[in-house]
Homo-oligomer: A and B are copies of this chain.
Amino acid sequence: MTKTIAIQGIQGSFHHIVSLDYYDNTHKVKECLTFDETVASLFNNTAETAIMALENSIAGSILPNYALIDNNDLHIVGEHYLDVQHQLMALPNQTIADIKEVHSHPMALLQCKSFFKDYPHIKLVEDKDTADVARKIEAQQIKGVAAIASTLAAKIFNLDILAESIQTIKHNQTRFAIVKTQPINNHKNEINKASLKFELDHKRGSLATILNVMSDCKLNLTKIQSLPKIETPWKYSFFVDVTFEAYEDFEKAASIMTIMATHFKILGTYKNAKL
């Protein structure tokens, strides 16, 4: 069904891995430089589906991506979890002693900084995209320079992995959303998770009241994030994820929350991918 999937980054990026894990390798991938471009692809019909990182266990929620989904009224139709592991890679027949520079995205360099304390001869250089450095190293046959990227990038661009999982914090679980401009007709009995957004006045107990409704309707809260609305003091937005066993329970809770909260919105209903 899905023909083209818009991903952030190029082939071999972590978003590309998610597209292969979630769908398969029969679809086409559209490489996008930014998340804005990923979303634009859905509206100019160059992609039917987009994949966007939503949060990770180190940095938390990626609020700009929540805003993109919310402001463009996109629908989350699925989720996927990936344990992001950074590999050090270079052209074959080199050792770490041969490497003079490592180029990667500032965030990847930051996450791997401790590893390089043992290699003071290596200079860290910021670049735009993790996988794109791997691509350039192969395309231009650059020796003495290594990339920090995924195992998939090493495979695609024929690089050797010099050191595995070099990031300081060994588990960096990242959650990705599969998004479309329209909801898909999932079978209700396959849906057991929903992403919601609502606003509440800054009135004592107002969130507790909403959570009581959710609890009474047998919904489990798996994530909650408050967001003050700068323009309207004392108003708060909440992004909430819930899991449930029966879709009817969710429908009941949603109908009550629509009345109790301001601007109640279902960002998506989908199958829980967390084991």
Contact = CB atoms under 8 A, between A and B. Distances in A.
Interface of A: 57-61, 63-64, 106, 126, 171, 173, 202, 204-205, 207-208, 211-212, 214-215, 218-228, 230-231, 238
B228 A226 contact: no
Please report whether the interface of chain A is mostly helix, strand, loop or mixed according to DSSP.
Answer: mixed
Oligomer: number of copies: 2
Contacts of A231: 171
B208 A222 contact: no
Contacts of A220: 202, 204
A63 B57 CA distance: 9
B207 A222 contact: no
A32 to B, nearest CB: 16
A82 to B, nearest CB: 13
Contacts of A61: 60-61
A155 B238 CA distance: 40
Contact of A60 (B106, B214, B227): B227
A157 B2 CA distance: 55
A207 B202 contact: no
Contacts of A225: 60, 224-226
A90 B224 CA distance: 43
Contacts of A223: 226, 228
A57 B228 contact: yes
What are the 5 tightest A-B residue pairs by CB atom distance, in nearest-first order? A205-B215, A208-B211, A60-B63, A208-B215, A224-B226
